[in-house]
Structure 1
């Protein structure tokens, strides 16, 4: 491969590539942000309900863990916006896209943990029999992991294509 020739079929400068990847990333973040912000908003109201005081100590602890996970998920998914705002005009957009992508992946992991913990809390509260609740929660978490991680990773491996240098795969630190 000579000089700036690319093997990914796109004819774009590093700046154009960073712009395109930034727009793609923002679209992905919008989907995740909406869900996590609604979930977090709902979780914030739980402690103010009279029934909260009737929760067991274990469930109150689970609630606190869930709310902290939700807060960190919101923070990680909003961080790329703040990151971009701070570095705008500094001619470092390719690096900003890499960091924003990493923060988005972290936010998605935290969202998975938040949703799993919230489901556990709700199902424990909704039923008197905790025997099957962990199995249901584990099954749902397993589906998230399958859909969000396993299938995309398996497809990537099955296709056996190595991402070109500077490609989208590099954004998350994958090489």
Structure 2
């Protein structure tokens, strides 16, 4: 079995992170595009002040999510071929985490906006709260809890050959 060098590990970590960001980027861009068109729809003038405020929160958090999720590309361009892949991976991880947090805010705000427009406000709050719980379950709680389930997996921060239990 070939031993992964530290440089190869950082490159793999960055490639993995970029794949994850592509999924998130598509979702947030679709949501952002929807939110950008919403004020131009026929029903938007009937929106209440609360709904317009909720819209602004959803729009700005989608914009923030988009900026954070795309920022590793700009950072990569600035550091290209400068041997700073570890810094790039750490930065991209932090930006991805922040982007997901803003995406959560935008998703829940969008649900609140639409449900408040269609249903009584108390129902809209309940459905939006359930949406937040749903996202937090799959984006935070389960991944955190999963860290201790079953067999330990290969540590991304340690080459396989360096582990005492490594099989060659």
Could you tell me the TM-score, scaled by structure 1's length? 0.83
Out of 142, 146, 165, the residue aligned to residue 155 of structure 1 is: 146
Out of 105, 108, 115, the residue aligned to residue 116 of structure 1 is: 108
Aligned to 2:124: 133
Out of 17, 30, 35, the residue aligned to residue 27 of structure 2 is: 35
CA distance in 2, matches of 1:21, 1:165: 7
Report the number of matched residues.
158
Matched, 1:17 2:17: no
- List runs of 5+ in structure 1 lacking aligned partners: 1-8, 168-175
- List runs of 5+ in structure 2 lacking aligned partners: 159-168
CA distance in 1, matches of 2:155, 2:50: 49
Cα-to-partner distance string for 1:91-144 (whole Å, 9 max, x where unaligned):
1011111110110111111111110000000111112x1122111111111011
CA RMSD of aligned residues (A): 2.0
Is contact 2:9-2:156 (8 Å) kept?
A: no
Structure with the larger RCO, 1 or 2 (CA within 8 Å, 6+ apart): 2
- 1:164 CA displacement: 5.5
Could you tell me the TM-score, scaled by structure 2's length? 0.86
Cα-to-partner distance string for 1:77-99 (whole Å, 9 max, x where unaligned):
00011111111111101111111
* TM superposition outliers: structure 1 runs of 4+ over 3 Å: 157-167
- 1:10 CA displacement: 7.6
CA distance in 2, matches of 1:159, 1:102: 27
CA distance in 2, matches of 1:64, 1:38: 17
CA distance in 2, matches of 1:23, 1:52: 41
- Report the 3-state secondary structure (helix = DSSP H, G, I; strand = E; otherwise coil) of the residue aligned with 1:50: coil
- Within a 5 Å distance, the mapping from 1:8-87 to structure 2 comes to 11-87=3-79
Moved more, 142-151 or 153-162: 153-162
Is contact 1:14-1:94 (8 Å) kept?
A: no
Matched, 1:142 2:133: yes
